[in-house]
Amino acid sequence: MSWDIVEVQLPFPIVMGDSPISHHKGSGQEKSTQETATNEQKSQMEQAYREMQRKMRIAKLNDDIKHKILVLSGKGGVGKSTVAAGLALSLARKGLKVGLMDIDITGPNIPKMMGLEDMDLNVEDGQIFPAKGPHGVKVISMAFLIEDPDKPVIWRGPIKLGAIQQFIGDVAWGKLDALIVDFPPGTSDEPLTVSQHLPGIDGVVIVTTPQEVALLDSRKSINFAKTISVPVLGVVENMSGYRIRGKSEPNSKVSLMGPEGISIDCISDGEGNWSTTLDIFKKGGGLSAAEELSVPYLGSLPFDPGIVRGGDDGVHRIIAEPEGETAQAFNVIVDNITNSLNEDATPSLKIT
């Protein structure tokens, strides 16, 4: 088996720290050694200057960005990126200035979901300017910097962490009401690095699906957030139920065969319309986990095949059907998050 290794060129070098340099004078090489030392010292000074600028910009983020919300899941495949994009779009639809940071270095999907797959980023004065998506959402992702999307990014931890530090400190976000940060699954390097370098994090949103396997890992995410002293804003249960609709005789009984062979009965209305929800992946697991670990439950999102189509087409469900069931469910979740953030906030910091 062979490995294809992609070399990703960031707009400017990743600085991982200084290393000691020793100089040894040799016969007939004193001048050459001094010139080399001068070049190396100059390079170190330039790196130190860039690092200082980055630290100053990171410190300024606390004033420029009112709220920073991390979106985590302990398990892959639960729709975390879909939820992160939905939260950003829902907030932007309320007239807020929103940024969306895709921290998944090896599997960045946010640009495709937001219809920004072929966008190029602009770099000026050592800062990366994010792409702008629907409703003015500003987006940064490693996907913008990879020339061949089919080749894997094979980076060891320190290189990934350097890239994340650049995403935090070298991106020109401007003034934002909220920054949503989307992570890869798990509780390893990426969320730990962001929690250490991004100032003023408001809290974490945990995404899960109803089945027990996903809930086991979600509990780990909740405990991870508590371990690093980041508030848990709440749990979102994704793929909670699939609503089906039909038409029959007015005011008649309709019987359906649901999951596990369980019969489901519903009554049509005066016009013959009926609907019911099939709990394909069970129901209520997210609420149970939230209650068990004493964290808020933010709400549930339906199992919506349109989300799959929207992710492939680059048109999020909220954009395709802004008044649809999924968009309304996101509104409930966003309202619960903003109510939580506003409980102890001053009027100038409230999300409205």
- Residue with the bigger pLDDT between 321 and 148: it is 321
Q: What is the pLDDT of residue 42?
A: 72
Q: What mean pLDDT value characterizes the chain?
A: 81
Distance CA 316, CA 323 (A): 13
The crossing angle, in degrees rounded to 10, of helices 30-64 and 157-169 is 60
For residue 105, the domain's CATH number is: 3.40.50.300
Question: Above pLDDT 90, what percent of the chain?
Answer: 30
Decide if 164 contacts 105 (C-beta within 8 A). Answer: yes
Considering the domain boundaries, does residue 87 fall inside one?
yes
Whole-prediction pTM: 0.79
Decide if 339 contacts 332 (C-beta within 8 A). Answer: no
**Domain count for the chain:** 1
DSSP labels for 120-185?
A: --EEETTEEEPEE-GGG-EEEEGGGG-S-TTS-----HHHHHHHHHHHHHSB---SEEEEEEE--S
Residue with tokens 């709400």: 299
Contacts with 56 (C-beta within 8 Å, 6 or more apart), sequence order? none
Considering the domain boundaries, does residue 243 fall inside one?
no
Considering the domain boundaries, does residue 351 fall inside one?
no
Considering the domain boundaries, does residue 331 fall inside one?
yes
Considering the domain boundaries, does residue 11 fall inside one?
no
- In this prediction, residues 267-286 reach a mean pLDDT of 82
Considering the domain boundaries, does residue 205 fall inside one?
yes
Looking at residue 14, the DSSP 8-state letter turns out to be P
pLDDT digits (tens, 9 = 90+) for 301-329: 998 888 888 888 888 889 999 999 999 99
Decide if 261 contacts 272 (C-beta within 8 A). Answer: no
Residue numbers of the domain that contains 184: 53-237+293-345
Statement: residue 93 has pLDDT above 90? yes
Statement: residue 155 has pLDDT above 80? no
Considering the domain boundaries, does residue 38 fall inside one?
no
Q: What is the pLDDT of residue 47?
A: 66
- In this prediction, residues 153-166 reach a mean pLDDT of 77
Considering the domain boundaries, does residue 45 fall inside one?
no
Q: 45-59, 142-156, 215-229 — which is least confidently predicted?
A: 45-59
